[in-house]
Structure 1
Amino acid sequence: MKNVEQRAEFDDYELEDNYDFSDGIRGRFYKPKKIRTTLQLDNDILLFLKKQASEKHIKYQVLVNSLLRDYMSEVIK
């Protein structure tokens, strides 16, 4: 939209009463916000997580997030 005339075409736009989202994909445009933080772990725990992550070919931070999300979903039940 380069100029005022082109934008004016959309000024009277009205939303419909109902929309069909049956073919929608949940979370399609969701991007989680990453926050830097310090997490102090015992050495044996860190070595275990790094080994498990290495075997799964993922970063250990991803594994920690996954484990915590699983735990959170169990606690919420």
Structure 2
Amino acid sequence: MNTRHSNRVPPEIQAEIDALAALPENQIDTDDIPEVRDWSSAKRGLFYRPVKQQITLRLDADLVDWFKNHHSQDEGYQTSINRALREYVVQHQT
């Protein structure tokens, strides 16, 4: 992990964040923010990239073959496997 950059939020900024988070929905003024209704052209992961960890993982050959032959044109088979694993984790969180 890169420890050169601190992710700590200064106390005065954290206090402001906490105060805003405590506001009820009806007290938040969003008139200056246009509501986006059509997300069809949105690109996932454009600004946020999760930290990846390289590992060696043994999978059944038929699973690897299936992912290699059935991934979408926009993502590779490893990304498809990662997405499938993430969906599994989300569904099984307690």
| TM-score, structure 2 as length reference | 0.49
Between the aligned partners of 1:45 and 1:28, the Cα distance in structure 2 is: 28
Q: CA deviation at 1:18?
A: 3.1
Q: CA deviation at 1:42?
A: 1.2
- Root-mean-square deviation (CA, aligned residues, Å) is 3.0
> Does 2:45 align with 1:47?
no
Matching residue within 67, 70, 76 for 2:87: 70
Superposition misfits of 4+ residues, deviation over 2 angstroms: 15-23, 27-31
Between the aligned partners of 1:28 and 1:44, the Cα distance in structure 2 is: 31
| Counterpart amino acid of residue 40 in structure 1 | R
Which one has the largest radius of gyration?
1
Matching residue within 32, 36, 44 for 2:54: 36
Identity %: 29
SS at match of 2:78: helix
How many residues are matched? 58
Q: CA deviation at 1:30?
A: 3.9
Using CA pairs below 8 Å that are at least 6 residues apart, which structure has the higher relative contact order? 1
Q: CA deviation at 1:31?
A: 2.8
| Deviations 1:26-61 (CA, angstroms, capped at 9, x unpaired) | x986431111101111111111011111xx112111
| TM-score, structure 1 as length reference | 0.58
